[in-house]
Amino acid sequence: MNNKILIGAGALIAVIAAVVLITGKGGYQTPITNPPPTPIKSAPPTTTSSLTNEATGSAQQVTVMLTQSGFEPATVTVKAGTKVIWVNNSGDMATVNSAVHPTHLVYPPLNFDQFPNGQSLSLVFDKPGTYKYHDHLNPSQTGQVIVE
Amino acid sequence: MLILAYHINYMRRLVETPKTQLGIALFLIFITAFINNPSLKIIAIYLFLHFVAVASDLFFLKLRNIFFFSLSASLVSASIITLVVNPNIPWHQLFVIAVLAIASKNFLRVSGRGIFNPAGFGLLAGSLIFPDAISWWGTSFQQFRVQNLESIIFFLILLSPVLISIIRMKRYRIILSFLIMYILLSSISNLLDPTLLFFSLVMLPEPMTTPNRHLPQILFGIFVAVFSFITFLPIQNFQLDPLITSLLIGNLIFFKFR
């Protein structure tokens, strides 16, 4: 009898949680949503400084290079409203996805489709916080954006 | 001649066991991971983790005064850890993760059966102590690309545990219920995700720590899928691996129903 109650309770919890998640009423973003990448003109591969902090008008932007050894720099600290640009110089397809692999739920706007070598993605970070990400195709390559 | 025949027969029976066959499948997956990421360090990590797993298993069995020893369980755990652990962490962290995995197999037991998936326990406990210990490096690159023969072969090798988990051990209820619920909660495209497939075919249906009866198997699979979407902690700089966390919580909740 106790076993049946526990199984029933577990099933009920699972069903309720599933309904909440599917209908999106639990306050969570739809998992694994991949907004189309915001392509900008391809940046030529560089082997020199991989961090550029340029002020363009009133908006700032920071560039992160994805190479074969990972994201460079792995950590960038920016002000709110800064655009972070990821340039794929890895020689292969890559992605930028929010932590945690493989559900990518911590910050869904940071989930992008695969982008080929030579292409770029960008995202404007409006709110302070620490945003961890990784390459889904090579999850040991990680990075983070610290927004002040 | 009789002794030789005995050993041959023993080896044949050993190879026919699901655990050994799973170990062979994991070794093949490791080979593809090495081809994709060739480095001596990867081989060294593989050998190191297997050595530590076997040595610690021997040590713990001696502590428990158990003299029968089968290599296959500790080798399988070591293979899984090799493919999932972050290969860039220091050697002492790898050591701790392997020892924790084998310790859970030996000491976290009820009625003679382990509670937690050993590799999962070692990895998660290790990630609680050492940040970024889990990376799934060996099970994320096998993207299915129709136009690339190598990727197709790697993908098929990744699927090879199907022969053991689904056909031999008949744990298809756990696997299918998990995958169906996971896809319902996310996207159909995840069906081909290599990390998800590896987790569902290798780690999820581990027979010693999952239910044996049909209904609990289905509920277990559903539970792990659902929980993997709510186990991330929205705390800066600290995020648990969702799949392994939900697997271990599922092990704990469902161990009474085996």
The pLDDT tens digits along chain A (148 residues) read 455 555 554 555 555 555 545 544 333 222 233 333 333 333 333 333 333 334 334 469 999 999 999 999 999 999 999 999 999 999 989 999 998 888 888 898 999 988 999 999 999 999 999 999 999 988 989 999 999 9
SS3 letters across B182-216: HHHHCCHHHHHCHHHHHHHHHHCCCHHHCCCCHHH
| Run of H or E including A87 | strand A82-88
Close Cβ partners of B168 (under 8 Å, ≥ 6 residues apart): B18, B21
Same domain, A26 and A87: no
Q: How many CB pairs under 8 A join A and B?
A: 101
pLDDT at A3: 54
Q: What percent of chain B has pLDDT over 90?
A: 69
Going by pLDDT thresholds of 50, 70 and 90, the confidence category of residue B252 is very high
Q: Which domain CATH number covers A53?
A: 2.60.40.420
Q: Which domain holds residue A6?
A: 1-30
Question: CA A85 to CA A78: how far, in whole Å?
Answer: 12
User: Does residue B219 have a pLDDT over 90?
Assistant: yes
Helix (H, G, I), strand (E, B) or coil at B143: coil
- Taking the alpha carbons at both ends of chain A, their separation in whole angstroms is 55
Question: CA A74 to CA A81: how far, in whole Å?
Answer: 19
Contact A70/B at CB under 8 A = no
Close Cβ partners of B95 (under 8 Å, ≥ 6 residues apart): B48, B52
User: What pairing do the DSSP bridges indicate for beta strands A75-78 and A138-147?
Assistant: parallel
Same domain, A36 and A61: yes
Place of tokens 């994201």: A71
φ, ψ at A75 (rounded to 5°): -125, 130
Q: Do the chains contact at A7 and B141, CB–CB below 8 Å?
A: no
Structure tokens at A136: 């889904």
Q: Do the chains contact at B230 and A103, CB–CB below 8 Å?
A: no
The least confident of A38-47, A67-76, B53-62, B198-207 is A38-47
Contact A140/B at CB under 8 A = yes
Q: Do the chains contact at B222 and A18, CB–CB below 8 Å?
A: yes
Same domain, A25 and A42: no
Name residue A65's amino acid.
M
Same domain, A18 and A77: no
CA B240, B244, B246, B251 dihedral sign is negative
Same domain, A13 and A83: no
B149 vs chain A: nearest CA distance in angstroms?
16
Question: CA B3 to CA B7: how far, in whole Å?
Answer: 6
pLDDT at B257: 77
pLDDT at B234: 54
Going by pLDDT thresholds of 50, 70 and 90, the confidence category of residue B23 is very high
pLDDT at A104: 87
The least confident of B20-34, B70-84, B102-116, B223-237 is B223-237
Same domain, A26 and A43: no
Same domain, A106 and A58: yes
Total residues belonging to chain B: 258
Same domain, A24 and A43: no
Chain B residues touching residue A100 (CB < 8 angstroms): 232, 239-242
Same domain, A50 and A12: no
Chain B residues at the A interface, defined by Cβ less than 8 Å, are 86-88, 132, 135-137, 140-141, 143, 181, 184-187, 189-190, 193, 195-196, 215-216, 219, 222-223, 226-230, 232, 234, 236-237, 239-243, 253-254, 256-257
Tell me, what DSSP letter sits at residue B241?
A: -
CA A23, A29, A33, A38 dihedral sign is positive
Q: Do the chains contact at B135 and A103, CB–CB below 8 Å?
A: no
Q: Which of B184, B222, B241 sits opposite A100 (nearest CB)?
A: B241
Angle between helices B18-36 and B71-84 (to 10 degrees): 30
Question: CA A102 to CA B239: how far, in whole Å?
Answer: 12
pLDDT at B239: 72
Contact B195, B236 (CB under 8 A): no
HSE, CB side, 13 Å, CA atoms: give it for residue B248: 19
B106 vs chain A: nearest CA distance in angstroms?
26
Q: Do the chains contact at A140 and B86, CB–CB below 8 Å?
A: yes
pLDDT at B9: 76
Same domain, A19 and A62: no
Helix (H, G, I), strand (E, B) or coil at B191: helix
Total domains, chain A = 2
Question: CA A146 to CA B148: how far, in whole Å?
Answer: 38
B71 vs chain A: nearest CA distance in angstroms?
29
Residue of A nearest to B185 (CA): A22
The better pLDDT of the pair B248, A6 is held by B248
Contact B197, B183 (CB under 8 A): no
Show me where the domains of chain B are located.
2-257
